[in-house]
Structure 1
């Protein structure tokens, strides 16, 4: 196997057990350093210095995760891949409108596309725990993936919050209260201008007609909340009403 970089070429023997893992000049440099001996390398100070710190997005995620759990919700962690039906048919939307990133050679029917919303994963978790005592109040803070032709890879990640209340009654007031709590933590006031947030009536096919609102924050739409459509509930083999919330937190960075 041949590896070339900046006019220099290295031949990697296929007899090596890790030959297929030699894919970068750093792998060759590591072999040279091992041969020369790490203890023989002269210690020098780097020309530049930096201090490591946590990404702002991850720091915000950790703080929100802690406070949402303190509000009585249980965190779940679901798969980043799902089936095509999970992001289209089961949510009463067309697959072409989801901007989903498809897997070229999926191994199973459950992992065909990258999720464009966190809702299917949370609903599947409720289905797996529907025999547990009510209410089930679950949430997840993770990345979704959607197509973006402006990026080098043609796709990008976006950090979302999704919360679902599953009970004998929908509990819309609980989800609405959670939204207010999240905005309070983010120090975003409830005003109708570009400095705050407000709710706007919307017709989203995933939610029950007349029971859905689009969330506008800092002058841009960030998500939806409302009571899920009965077809969504039955599509995930559930029998009780659900109120759900899903928003993007990246505009608040």
Structure 2
């Protein structure tokens, strides 16, 4: 996924039952990309999402790691469809009654430009709720797409549902 530090952030499982479970997932996006690869014969567009736990290193925890519930979504078509993913984000946050923050300060959510090697430069944004980064969205880098043997562009969104569900609008 073009992240140099991805293995250092991953949690390695001692005595896994199979090699597939040797490293805990830190992102749901690779699984969605594998699903698209397995379903390339289905007519476009493909719109997928997954809600599941990822494992994050956390030195404050007794075991050195914690589970966190994430939501990831991906849009795969002949055009990247960033507006589709952005619309999904807006809808999710509207349903959760998290208002848009036009002034990009304090209560509510906004997006701001970000740099993440998984995404195209200039086509990536952090999702910020109450001044805390809770997710990322953007158009996936072509190298990421070709690494999964895919030919079309795609946009993706990844959010920490845990962070969204525990936001405090009265801060």
Q: Please say whether Structure 1 and Structure 2 have the same fold, judged by a TM-score greater than 0.5.
A: yes
1:196 matched residue in structure 2? 108
1:84-163 counterparts in 2 under 5 A?
A: 91-95=1-5, 98-106=8-16, 108-163=18-73
Pick from 209, 220, 227 the counterpart of residue 132 of structure 2: 220
String of CA shifts for 1:102-146, please: whole Å, max 9, x gaps: 123456553330000110111111110011111100000111001
**How far apart are 1:169 and its partner, in Å?**
0.7
User: Which structure has more RCO (C-alpha within 8 Å, separation ≥ 6)?
Assistant: 2
Pick from 75, 79, 87 the counterpart of residue 169 of structure 1: 79
State the alpha-carbon separation in 1 of the partners of residues 8 and 77 from structure 2: 29
More strand as a share of residues? 2
CA RMSD in angstroms, aligned pairs only: 1.5
TM-score, normalized by length of structure 1?
A: 0.61
- Relative distance call for 1:228 and 1:177 in structure 2 (3 A) is same
User: How many residue pairs align between the two structures?
Assistant: 163
State the alpha-carbon separation in 2 of the partners of residues 213 and 246 from structure 1: 11
Question: Unpaired segments of 5 or more residues in structure 1?
Answer: 1-90
State the alpha-carbon separation in 2 of the partners of residues 230 and 223 from structure 1: 21
1:248 matched residue in structure 2? 160
Question: Which protein shows a greater Rg?
Answer: 1
2:151 matched residue in structure 1? 239
- Once the two structures are overlaid, the 10-residue window that deviates more, 98-107 or 209-218, is 98-107
State the alpha-carbon separation in 1 of the partners of residues 160 and 140 from structure 2: 19
**How far apart are 1:184 and its partner, in Å?**
0.2
Question: Unpaired segments of 5 or more residues in structure 2?
Answer: 167-171
1:21-36 counterparts in 2 under 5 A?
A: none
- Relative distance call for 1:182 and 1:96 in structure 2 (3 A) is closer
TM-score, normalized by length of structure 2?
A: 0.90
